[in-house]
């Protein structure tokens, strides 16, 4: 997925266009890839808090799986809680060490 596609997804989410709120700051959002549009794209799961932070934490093709399991969702909610509590200093370190990749807004 391109940075532009990810940025578009976050911009849409900021306007309230979320496919599913799974609780615990985990949301599902369809993202267009390869010029196929959202229907042929991928499903992404994000740790997300409006106006604050967005982390793309998992992606899958619709034809590869329908959804995540209950245990996977529990783990993703735990990860989302951790990510939401990262300070700016911790985020900077995680990016510098390659643990996270920052998608920068091109505007």
Tokens of 79: 């990860």
Sheet of strand 20-23, all strands in order from the earlier edge strand to the far edge = 20-23, 26-31, 42-49, 53-61
Give the tens place of pLDDT for each residue, 48-90. Answer: 998 888 999 988 877 677 778 899 999 999 999 999 999 999 9
Give the tens place of pLDDT for each residue, 4-32. Answer: 888 888 899 999 999 999 999 999 998 87
Q: How far apart are the first and last CA of the chain?
A: 19
Nearest Cα residue to 83 out of 55, 44, 62 = 55
Residue 9 CA to residue 88 CA, distance in Å, equals: 22
Model confidence at 38, in pLDDT bands (50, 70, 90)? low
């Amino acid at each position: 997925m391109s940075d532009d596609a990810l940025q578009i997804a976050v911009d849409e989410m900021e306007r309230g266009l979320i496919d599913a709120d799974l609780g615990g700051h985990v949301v599902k959002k369809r993202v267009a890839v390869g010029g196929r549009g959202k229907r042929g794209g991928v499903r992404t799961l994000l740790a997300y808090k409006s106006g604050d932070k967005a982390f793309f934490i998992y992606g899958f093709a619709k034809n590869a799986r329908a959804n995540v399991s209950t245990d996977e969702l529990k783990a993703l909610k735990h990860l989302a809680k951790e990510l939401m509590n990262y300070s700016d200093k911790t985020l900077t370190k995680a990016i510098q060490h390659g643990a996270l990749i920052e998608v920068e807004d091109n505007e």
